[in-house]
Amino acid sequence: MSLRQQSLQSSLVAKHFGASASVIAQLSTDPHQSSKKVSGQNFLPPSYSALASLQEIQIDGRTYKLHVPVRLIATDRQIAKLLPGQKVSATVQIVRSKELRVAAMLLANQEVSVVSKPSLWASTLGKIRLGLRSASGTGDAGSLIPGMVLGDTSLQNENFRGDMRRSGLTHLVAVSGANFAIVSAFILWCAQFLFRTMRFRIIATAFALTAFIALVRPSPSVLRAAAMAAVLLIAYATKRGSDSLPALGFAIAAVVIGDPWQGRDPGFALSVLATAGLLLFAPLIVNYLARWLPNFAAQAIAPPIAAMVFCAPVIVAIAGYLSPMSILANLLAAPVVAPITVVGFIAALISPFLPQVSVLLVTCVKPLAWWIASVADWAAGFRVITLSKGLMGFLLALLVIALIFTLPRKVFITGLLIILALTYLQRFPGGDWQVANCDIGQGDGAAINLGNHRAIVIDTGPAPELIDRCLKQLSIREIPLLILTHGHADHIAGLAGAVRGRKVGATWFGNVRRGTSAQIGRANIKVMWPDDGEYDPNNSSIAVRIDTPDFSLFAGGDMEPLTQAVIAPELRRVDIYKVCHHGSAYQDESFTRALSPQVAMISVGVGNSYGHPAAKTLALLAQVSAKVLRTDVDGAIAIAAHRHRLKIRTSKGNFNFIRWE
């Protein structure tokens, strides 16, 4: 790894960071569209990313031939149709990359020219992938099948990906060792009709797996999964379970020698640990559970438990949470994984020349895919145990696992129940809250509790999955009034996530004016701004005052001094002030003094490039004796109010070590 890293750092391209150059690069992976991103108030144009090998570069009037791994990012849509092996030329900007396996990131903001056509082999594989994608159709179930069979996640939306992550089912939508094991078992079964001896069956299976690797793309993660699956296959085929651990060690060594960067990849660690859990711990769990359960039930329950136990420290270190429901979600999904994979694999192979039969096969397993999608949606709605990320979380998870194996069972179970009870009592937002500000990065999203899982929602932030997760956390199922203060992306880009699976009543977005009022339950909402004048988007924000018997609140979107000063004489004190424009320096002093809130909530992203919140604004809020809460420091904010007495709870401030979300 040291030699490779040194070669990348001393390469020609690494000496020209910040420069522009004309390049020819050969794609190593399929280009994929990056997730929709928001930069401040604007949507960024879609971009496409792929690993590539830089073949030629023209810079400083000279042309150089070379062979250097790079990351190519382009805005030209035609790159999305290209296949691995094709060469492209473009004018790029050379940028330093945090991705250690590449020498640089090449940004192509202009047209990309195609230099070579795909090979016959690449075209055939591309047709198979496209054929399965076309046969799978739409919806979460349709998008799941290509991912489970070929690792093709291009049809999946952000909300579905978020559900799969939170429910612990992400491994199903990427090519993993399980995919290879299922395909291997199917091919091995078919080979018995052609070959008498196990040796020839395994050789035939090896050739088939090589073709399968090419089909799903020989990316580092796929090669890793193939190596892990080979260990399981050999252990199963030779019935020599005692040799499984040395075989696993050999697979680890082979992968790391072939691609040293795997040694720093958390995914590699998870793959190794999961495989070790299946080989070493699952049999013990089966023997233990078989005392009380039927053998088939013990065989079904053991693998997800073993994998979670072994992977838990790394999962906590990188994600910061564990989902207890992931075990149940995996149990519910497990019975249908193999049928989807096998039938989908057959459907993919025949899709180029028998597309109608391919559609028929996919139709047969689509209800099974719907089942997994439904399980993911259901499991994602449950709270997860959130712990500290990094080393502290890793050590805590490791300690808990060590206690499982060392403490007497009764002592451990009693202690675990006490810890879980305490963490549940400290969960965010708790059972009693009236106002919540979501932690959604550099954007705005808040909810006013109306009871019975109903809330007024003000803005939806920059990402659908973040606001959806927040509203699930708050148990919001109905939105009688949705207020979108203005059209900037950091306030409305998450709209799809806010309304997903929820009943929405009225929506205010540019259709209300100063003086409009509404009564919803015990909440009286009065629109304080905008009027009929012509203003920029920030100063056209919908500003509302909400009064209930227990609290008063003012929220003004991104209002700035120009319009703040206009309504300042009409304002009176409030309990809670949702600070305008993420606490920027553009605040009218008379406006803030007129509000003089008990609590000032600032929705702001960690380490944002805008300098929010401004020191000047924080000082002004301190002068009016407001308690300042910031999502970048405090996380999500929940306020319980009774007769204008406020009780504050934050997701980072209650119980920092471990909590429920």
pLDDT given at position 616: 94
What string of DSSP letters covers 305-338? HHHHHHHHHHHHHHHSEE-THHHHHHHHHHHHHH
Q: How far apart are CA 168 and CA 270, in angstroms?
A: 13
The predicted pLDDT at position 578 comes to 96
Nearest partner of 562 among 539, 528, 585, 592, judged by Cα: 539
Residues 280, 241: Cα–Cα separation, whole Å: 9
Q: Which residue has the higher pLDDT, 552 or 197?
A: 552
Q: Which of 135-139, 258-262, 418-422 has the lowest mean pLDDT?
A: 418-422
Pick the CATH number of 435-660 from 3.40.50.1220, 3.40.50.2300, 3.40.50.300, 3.60.15.10: 3.60.15.10
488 vs 262 pLDDT, higher one: 488
Q: What share of the chain is helix, strand, coil (3-state, %, to 5)?
A: 50, 20, 30
Range picked from 222-231, 413-422, 538-547 for highest mean pLDDT:
538-547
Q: Which of 16-30, 73-87, 248-262, 554-568 has the highest mean pLDDT?
A: 554-568
Helices (H) and strands (E) in the chain, counts: 22, 26
Q: What average pLDDT score do residues 144-166 get?
A: 81
pLDDT band at residue 639 under the 50/70/90 scheme: very high
Candidates 417, 489, 479; CA nearest to 447 is 479
Are 635 and 650 in contact by the 8 Å Cβ rule? The answer is yes
Residues of the chain with pLDDT > 90, as a percent, come to: 31
Q: Convert the pLDDT of each residue in 424-469 to its tens digit.
A: 665 677 678 999 999 988 899 999 999 899 999 999 998 888 898 8
Q: For residue 300, give the DSSP letter.
A: H
Regarding predicted confidence, which is higher, 72 or 258? 72
pLDDT for 575 beyond 60: yes
Domain ranges of the chain: 2-118, 435-660
User: Does residue 581 sit in helix, strand or coil?
Assistant: helix
Q: How do residues 317-362 score in pLDDT, each as one tens digit?
A: 877 767 777 778 878 887 888 888 888 888 988 888 888 999 999 9
pLDDT by residue (tens digit) across 195-209?
877 777 777 877 877
> Would the pLDDT of 70 be above 80?
yes
Residue 507 is predicted with a pLDDT of 95
Pick the CATH number of 2-118 from 3.40.50.1000, 3.30.420.40, 3.40.50.1370, 2.40.50.140: 2.40.50.140
User: Distance (Å, rounded) from C-alpha 151 to C-alpha 165?
Assistant: 15
User: What pLDDT does 477 receive?
Assistant: 92
Q: Does pLDDT of 605 surpass 80?
A: yes
CA dihedral 421→425→431→435, nearest 10 degrees, is -150
The encoded tokens of residue 633 equal 């420091």
pLDDT of residue 254: 80
The DSSP H or E segment spanning 616 is: helix 615-623
List the one residue out of 28, 130, 123 whose CA is nearest residue 84: 28
Listing DSSP states for 428-475 in one string gives SS-S--SEEE---SSS-EEEEEEETTEEEEEEE-S-HHHHHHHHHHTT
Q: Per residue in 279-312, pLDDT tens?
A: 888 888 888 888 887 887 777 777 777 877 888 8
Q: How long a stretch of residues is the chain? A: 661
Mean pLDDT of the chain, nearest integer: 83
Q: What confidence score (pLDDT) does residue 111 get?
A: 86
Residue 368 has pLDDT above 80, yes or no: yes
Closest by CA position to 650, among listed 442, 372, 438, 419: 438
pLDDT per residue as tens digits for the range 226-264: 776 676 666 666 666 556 677 778 778 888 887 777 777
Residue 107's DSSP bridge partners are 73, 93
pLDDT at 426: 59
- pTM beyond 0.85: the answer is no
Q: List the single range of 43-57, 208-222, 223-237, 542-556 with lowest mean pLDDT.
A: 223-237
pLDDT of 655 > 50? The answer is no
Question: What are the DSSP calls for 66-104, one per residue?
Answer: EEEEEEEEE--GGGGG--TT-EEEEEEEEE--S-TTSS-
pLDDT band at 588 (very low <50, low <70, confident <90, very high): very high
Q: Is the dihedral of CA 81, 83, 89, 92 positive or negative?
A: positive
Which pLDDT does position 219 carry in this prediction? Answer: 64
Q: What is the mean pLDDT of residues 271-283?
A: 81
Query: Does the pLDDT at position 174 exceed 70?
Result: no
pLDDT at 243: 62
Q: What is the pLDDT of residue 248?
A: 75
Most confident of 91-100, 151-160, 242-251, 537-546: 537-546
Residue 651 CA to residue 630 CA, distance in Å, equals 11
Q: Residue 498: in which H helix or E strand, if any?
A: helix 495-499
Write out the DSSP string of 253-292: HHHHHH-GGGGG-HHHHHHHHHHHIIIIIHHHHHHHHTTT
- Read off the pLDDT of residues 85-121 as tens digits, 9 standing for 90 and up: 899 999 999 998 888 788 889 998 888 898 888 888 8
Task: Go through 326-363 and write b for each residue having 16 or more CB atoms within 10 A of its CB, e for each that does not.
Answer: bbbbbbbbbebbbebbbbbbbbbbbbbeeeeebbebbe
